[in-house]
Amino acid sequence: MDATSLAAAFTEAYRRAPEGVWHAPGRINLIGEHTDYNDGFVLPFALARGVTVAAARRDDGVLEMRSLQVADAGVSVALDGAGPKTIDGWTEPRRWAAYPFGVAALLRELGTGGASLLFDSDLPQGAGLSSSAALECATALALCELYGIDADRAGLARVAQRAENEYVGMPCGIMDQSASLLCTAGHALMLDCRSGLSAQVPLDLPGKDLTLLVVNTNARHTLTDGDYGRRRAECERAAALLDVPALRDVTDLAAALDRLPDPVLRRRVQHVVTENHRVEAVVGLLRAGAETELGALLTASHLSLRDQYEISWPEADLTVEAALRAGARGGRMVGGGFGGSVIVLAAADRAGAVQDAIVAAYRERGLTEPDFLDAVPSPGARRCVN
Ligand code: GAF
């Protein structure tokens, strides 16, 4: 729903007008997967889809949350004295509200207070496109602007990440929240997750006669069920054994692999170290205007995520294989893994045939057909209506 319609829906739901409407996008990560919590590099761009929120302050310290996607599951909670334990009883269908609640609870440190919020989303959930970060970032931006708090966006991304870590229990890194808040139209965001320094890298694939397909494999992912946390813990264990602060600091991969007796940890290190190199290589190609050469790096990333990090899923592998057979230049799974989306890079005049080949491969296996989304590098979070 557009911002004006959402403002009207807010007025109907809460019997008063909102003070503004804000939007925060989801993201595609071009490359740099599972590198963020290893202090490494990522290269996401914002999608044109995301979460929109109509909002107004409340002077009684209550946070009131409703979503157009979750009928009859509005949640009201007093912020005073609230903390991560407040949400213990918030089972489905109220679980979604833990994300905005966590943000609102943490932002009180900066001087925000109660609010009525009405959310709408056009991002598929569980598709690996960061619907959670979009929900957090829309909330953060709305509350800060409502309460006149001039927080810098990198700082807001850290608050949103903390909300997800501490309130939802998902030990995510900083990539998704940074993408939602810091990306700009026509660019990917090269982020150094250790220093927080970032650069906007121009990304114009249609200008090079290329199409980036986003394929929602319709295999849903849930990242709170432990696999993500286990990968993160393995990386931390490997870094400790190698006596480095984070896997980002491994400079001699062969020597590091020699020092690790556990084959599982060796595979994790191999992925993280080579993935960081691939991000730098992709940035180099984009800056050199050599976008047509990106494909091999995307596919190498996928194979590393499949074989070394072991987080791919059957539909993702099928998508990449079918796309390559049909002449795509490259492709890879995106996001946390175990379900979600795949990106495929193809010459613009092959994109239709590649898409058809992917659909045919799913049909042949009797799988639910995938959805295809636009991948236009779009602006980061913003106010839409006063
Ligand atoms: C998820 C997490 F939220 C990110 O922080 C990142 O680790 C990503 O998986 C994998 O690159 O989206």
Summarize pLDDT for 241-261 with one digit per residue, the tens: 999 999 999 999 999 999 999
Phi-psi region of 338 (alpha: psi -120 to 50; beta: other; left: phi over 0): left
Is 176 labeled as catalytic in the residue annotation?
Answer: yes
Q: Is the pLDDT of residue 162 over 90?
A: yes
- Assigned token pair, 113: 């207070």
Of 131, 149, 127, the closest CA to residue 140 belongs to: 149
Q: Is the pLDDT of residue 386 over 80?
A: no
Of 48, 50, 43, the closest CA to residue 22 belongs to: 50
Averaged pLDDT for residues 113-134: 95
| 126 CB-side CA count, 13 A | 11
What interface predicted TM-score (ipTM) does this complex get?
0.99
- CATH architecture of the domain with residue range 3-201+378-385: 2-Layer Sandwich (3.30)
Residues whose beta carbon lies within 6 Å of some atom of ligand 1:
33-34, 36-37, 172-173, 175-176, 335-336
Atom number in ligand 1 closest to CA 223 = 1
CA dihedral 103, 106, 109, 113 (to 10 degrees): 50
Specify the residue with its C-alpha closest to ligand 1, atom 9: 336
Q: Is the pLDDT of residue 220 over 90?
A: no
pLDDT at 125: 82
Q: Is the pLDDT of residue 213 over 80?
A: yes
CA 128 to ligand 1 center in whole angstroms: 9
Q: Which of 59, 176, 252, 258 is catalytic?
A: 176
8 Å CB contact between 27 and 184 = no
Q: Is the pLDDT of residue 190 over 70?
A: yes
Question: What gap in Å lies between CA 328 and CA 350, rounded to an integer?
Answer: 7
Q: Return the domain boundaries, the chain.
A: 3-201+378-385, 203-373
Q: Give the rounded percent of residues in the chain with a pLDDT score beyond 90.
A: 90
Length of the chain in terms of residues written: 386
Averaged pLDDT for residues 91-112: 93
CA 61 to ligand 1 center in whole angstroms: 32
8 Å CB contact between 192 and 41 = yes
Q: Is the pLDDT of residue 73 over 80?
A: no
Averaged pLDDT for residues 15-34: 98
Question: What gap in Å lies between CA 144 and CA 111, rounded to an integer?
Answer: 9
The answer to whether domain 203-373 has CATH 3.30.9.10 is no
Angle ∠(374,375,377) on CA atoms, nearest 5? 135
Which of 175, 220, 272 has the most ligand 1 atoms within 8 A of CB, as the residue to mutate?
175
pLDDT at 223: 58
Strand locations in the chain, DSSP E? Answer: 20-29, 41-42, 44-57, 62-67, 70-78, 115-121, 187-192, 198-202, 210-219, 330-333, 340-347, 371-373, 382-385
| 15 CB-side CA count, 13 A | 0
Q: Is the pLDDT of residue 224 over 80?
A: no
Q: Could you give the strand order of the β-sheet that contains 70-78, starting from the edge strand earlier in sequence?
A: 70-78, 62-67, 115-121, 44-57, 20-29, 382-385
Query: Residues 285-314: pLDDT tens digits?
Result: 999 999 999 999 999 999 999 999 999 999
pTM of the model: 0.95
Question: What gap in Å lies between CA 103 and CA 53, rounded to an integer?
Answer: 14
3-class DSSP state of 383: strand
Rounded to the nearest integer, the mean pLDDT of the chain is 95
CA 126 to ligand 1 center in whole angstroms: 13
- Assigned token pair, 296: 């091999």
Question: What gap in Å lies between CA 176 and CA 156, rounded to an integer?
Answer: 12
pLDDT at 30: 98
